[in-house]
Copies of this chain bind each other. A is one copy, B any other.
Amino acid sequence: MARISPLSGFPEWLPDGRVVEQHVLDVLRRTFELHGFAGIETRAVEPLDQLLRKGETSKEVYVLRRLQDEVATSEGDAASAGSPRSEKQLGLHFDLTVPFARYVLENAGRLAFPFKRYQIQKVWRGERPQDGRFREFCQADIDVVGAGELPYHFEVELPLVMAEALGALREIGVPEVRVLVNNRRVAEGFYRGLGIEDVEGVLRQIDKLDKIGPDRVAELLVAEQGATPQQAGACLDLAAISGADVAVIERVRALADRHGACTELLETGLSELSALIEAASTRAPGVVVADLKIARGLDYYTGSVYETVLVGHEELGSICSGGRYDTLASDGKNTYPGVGLSIGVSRLVSRLLSAGLLTATRGVPTAVLVAVSDEESRAASDAVAAALRARGVPTDVAPSAAKFGKQIKYADRRGIPFVWFPGDEHQVKDIRSGEQVEADPATWHPAAADLWPRVVPAGE
């Protein structure tokens, strides 16, 4: 076999890392389900033309081809769009939103709207790998999509579901999160009030604030969007406003007043943003912060937008983003507005592991290793294991009838807390304390904390 080396951008975890990831996924799933989101999965591939619909992402798409097709067409240009093959070109999905929109259209007649779904799957992007950016990564998305209409209150609820889901991870050592929220209508209403036409262009520049700073953004707004220095300054003043309570709304209104930039759209946006901040202050105090610089420049959101940072790890970027689309999907006849957020699970888990913030109590599910005295009595050990498993205790049997010291070492290396010695009188040993007691396979149970591997904050 050829030399094996990891592929950059394609993260894999050792078993104890996977215990952490699986725990995170289990907690997310449970929270989503408690809120009534139905789990779905979509295929990993979409027709290339669907994936490239928005243009912007074309360079990140992995295109698929069957090896035999390549051989068959290797004479010609295998990359040409007008390929002679009858089958559609397929690519790997780069997010879960495009496939979900397609799933909604494909199954519209069989779904009940508003349709709430969660989706936890891998996605692929051919980007240059770097810290927190992978070529293959796991996303956990929630979205709600309506047929024709979707009430605003969902824009309040969905970020709160995510805040709850991420909050449920605090006890295992995941840092606090801040959900940063904004509303496209506020920005658009304000910009239009200032007399700016190129709203999309301004949002794209504002999106660069964290990377290049306000001075450079101001220059770009003047140079590329044709803003006056006064307009650029006002845009930056708006972007500088943030706060966790509704006072922030008044600050925006005052700024707009000063610039004579009050519009009906701005007022609509502000009343929406205000409702979100107010609900959040009751349901997730301190978690949701209005941050007027949140632009999500490249995405086609039309109302609320969200980003989420891990407190203390802000430089990692957003670990959970999303917003409201007025047209998540449309089939010409019907339009399906939606709102949703997506957690970058791999980015989150990768940081949790590399920063040593938490740890799995063990990398195997096993709570008990049943020792084997000699190969002839393996069936007796198997019977003990079966009795324990029947009562929900994850149990392994020693792979060989080695000396007991070696069997205990087998357990120790894996973090298995108990070794069971079968016999006329069974005994079970807690190998951490060395305590050994008589026990009955039909009734003995480990402490709840030892039953399954747990994920705990580092140092616990």
A160 to chain B minimum Cβ distance, whole angstroms, is: 9
Contact among B15, B39, B64, B110 for A62, CB-based, below 8 A: B64
Residue of B nearest to A138 (CB): B41
A400 to chain B minimum Cβ distance, whole angstroms, is: 6
B74 touching A79 by the CB < 8 A rule? yes
Provided the pairs A2-B50, A67-B58 are in contact, do residues A413 and B79 lie with their beta carbons within 8 angstroms?
no
Query: Does residue A365 face the partner (Cβ distance < 8 Å to B)?
Result: yes
Give the interface residue-count category, chain A. Answer: 35 or more
Provided the pairs A36-B364, A36-B394, A110-B14 are in contact, do residues A63 and B66 lie with their beta carbons within 8 angstroms?
yes
Query: Does residue A106 face the partner (Cβ distance < 8 Å to B)?
Result: yes
Query: Does residue A65 face the partner (Cβ distance < 8 Å to B)?
Result: yes
For the complex, give the distance between the alpha carbons of A11 and B40 in Å. 12
When distances are taken between beta carbons in the complex, the residues of chain B under 8 Å from A77 are 74, 78
A15 touching B79 by the CB < 8 A rule? no
Chain A residues numbered 113-129 whose CB sits less than 8 Å from any CB in chain B = 114, 116-117, 122, 124, 126
Provided the pairs A33-B365, A38-B365, A66-B62 are in contact, do residues A45 and B13 lie with their beta carbons within 8 angstroms?
no
B4 touching A34 by the CB < 8 A rule? no
B34 touching A15 by the CB < 8 A rule? no
Chain A residues numbered 65-95 whose CB sits less than 8 Å from any CB in chain B = 65-71, 73-74, 77-80, 88, 90-92
For the complex, give the distance between the alpha carbons of A408 and B47 in Å. 39
Contact among B34, B42, B146 for A392, CB-based, below 8 A: B34
Residue of B nearest to A71 (CB): B79
Query: Does residue A258 face the partner (Cβ distance < 8 Å to B)?
Result: no
Query: Does residue A363 face the partner (Cβ distance < 8 Å to B)?
Result: yes
B382 touching A283 by the CB < 8 A rule? yes
Chain A residues numbered 18-70 whose CB sits less than 8 Å from any CB in chain B = 18-19, 21-22, 33-45, 47, 49-50, 53, 58-70
Contact among B122, B151, B397 for A400, CB-based, below 8 A: B151
When distances are taken between beta carbons in the complex, the residues of chain B under 8 Å from A394 are 33-36
A392 to chain B minimum Cβ distance, whole angstroms, is: 7
B66 touching A38 by the CB < 8 A rule? no
When distances are taken between beta carbons in the complex, the residues of chain B under 8 Å from A111 are 14-15
For the complex, give the distance between the alpha carbons of A111 and B73 in Å. 43
A1 touching B66 by the CB < 8 A rule? no
A68 touching B36 by the CB < 8 A rule? no
When distances are taken between beta carbons in the complex, the residues of chain B under 8 Å from A364 are 36, 38, 116
For the complex, give the distance between the alpha carbons of A34 and B117 in Å. 30
When distances are taken between beta carbons in the complex, the residues of chain B under 8 Å from A117 are 15
A130 to chain B minimum Cβ distance, whole angstroms, is: 16
Provided the pairs A34-B392, A400-B151 are in contact, do residues A4 and B80 lie with their beta carbons within 8 angstroms?
no
Provided the pairs A22-B39, A74-B77 are in contact, do residues A389 and B34 lie with their beta carbons within 8 angstroms?
yes
Per-position binary interface string of chain A over residues 426-460, scored 1 when its CB falls under 8 Å from any chain B CB and 0 otherwise? 00000000000000000000000000100000000
For the complex, give the distance between the alpha carbons of A327 and B396 in Å. 24
B92 touching A64 by the CB < 8 A rule? yes
Query: Does residue A330 face the partner (Cβ distance < 8 Å to B)?
Result: yes
Residue of B nearest to A53 (CB): B1
Provided the pairs A2-B49, A92-B64 are in contact, do residues A396 and B35 lie with their beta carbons within 8 angstroms?
yes
Residue of B nearest to A366 (CB): B36
Query: Does residue A103 face the partner (Cβ distance < 8 Å to B)?
Result: yes
A4 touching B91 by the CB < 8 A rule? no
B61 touching A63 by the CB < 8 A rule? no
Chain A residues numbered 372-391 whose CB sits less than 8 Å from any CB in chain B = 375, 378-379, 382, 386, 389
Chosen A-B contacts, 24 in total, with CB atoms closer than 8 Å, are A4-B102, A4-B105, A5-B106, A7-B43, A12-B41, A12-B43, A14-B110, A19-B38, A22-B39, A36-B365, A36-B394, A36-B395, A36-B396, A37-B365, A38-B364, A44-B124, A59-B66, A64-B92, A68-B126, A73-B79, A74-B77, A112-B413, A116-B364, A116-B396
